[in-house]
Amino acid sequence: MRCFVRRGLSRSARRCVLIEILTVCTGNICRSPLAAVVLQTRLADLDARVTSAGTRGLDDAAMTAEAQTLAVALGVPPEVAAAHRSRYLLELHLLTPDLILTMTREHRRMVAELAPARLRTSFTVREFARLAAGVSDDDLRSAADEAGADAAARMRAAAALVSTRRGIAPAPADPTDDDVIDPYGRPWKVYQESAAQLAPALAEVIRVARLAAGPSPALGR
């Protein structure tokens, strides 16, 4: 189990987590924080830690008002959406997550350059959903069970299984179908389009995380 110190709190105020997910976009004020707060909210019972960062991240900026509105519409408490502050993606941020989800193929490429060893557990979020859709619940559970009872190892095993679908699953007719459109500085309609691309992909991430999170009854706790 990994323990983290929350920003602004003493080292005695630690939060211990079982699985860790990182989301990545450009400025870390629209897409990746929206994905992170939705996943954090919906996976809270799994002791998940979901964070985000930007490849050209702004310094300590809040989510845009539009992204906060979308987050609340997707079930995130308003105070959670308001609490986000942006950060710049560093190599050290890529060391511990069990799953890394980027918003575009370009972000995924930049992650691979920073941490080549994380290739099997790094995807664009829509790519992950596309590939995971071809993996059954039973196969995901089996892959996780083979990794043992440790939740982080189970999550990584499930992500690695999804990764094996690369080169097997049909590629999208339009490569941009693996990307989430950037709404920053654009009309509300584009924010809604971006969220409409993101939400079903996050639902697939949640499915995989929940299947991987707990060992089968045969393994126990």
| The pLDDT value given to residue 1 | 53
Closest of 24, 25, 178 to residue 94, by C-alpha: 24
Mean pLDDT of 147-158: 95
How many Å apart are CA 167 and CA 60, to the nearest integer? 39
| The pLDDT value given to residue 58 | 78
**Using the 8-state DSSP alphabet, how is residue 214 labeled?**
S
Which residue(s) pair with 102 in the sheet?
A: 24, 124
How many Å apart are CA 161 and CA 153, to the nearest integer? 12
More confident residue, 2 or 65: 65
Which contacts qualify for 111-117: CB closer than 8 Å, 24 or more apart? 111/24, 114/89, 114/90, 115/91
For residue 187, the one-letter residue type is: P
DSSP line for 34-62: HHHHHHHHHTGGGTEEEEEEETT--SSPP
Alpha helices, DSSP H, located in the chain: 31-42, 65-73, 78-83, 105-114, 125-132, 137-146, 151-163, 188-213
| The pLDDT value given to residue 18 | 84
How many Å apart are CA 59 and CA 81, to the nearest integer? 17
Summarize pLDDT for 67-97 with one digit per residue, the tens: 999 999 999 999 999 999 999 999 999 999 9
How many Å apart are CA 100 and CA 123, to the nearest integer? 6
Q: Give domain 17-213's CATH superfamily.
A: Response regulator (3.40.50.2300)
* pTM of the complete model: 0.90
pLDDT band at 8 (very low <50, low <70, confident <90, very high): very low
Mean pLDDT of 187-193: 98
How many Å apart are CA 219 and CA 164, to the nearest integer? 25
How many Å apart are CA 169 and CA 132, to the nearest integer? 10
Summarize pLDDT for 89-130 with one digit per residue, the tens: 999 999 999 999 999 999 999 999 999 999 989 999 999 999
Angle formed at CA 121 by CA 147 and CA 76, multiple of 5 degrees = 100
| The pLDDT value given to residue 215 | 55
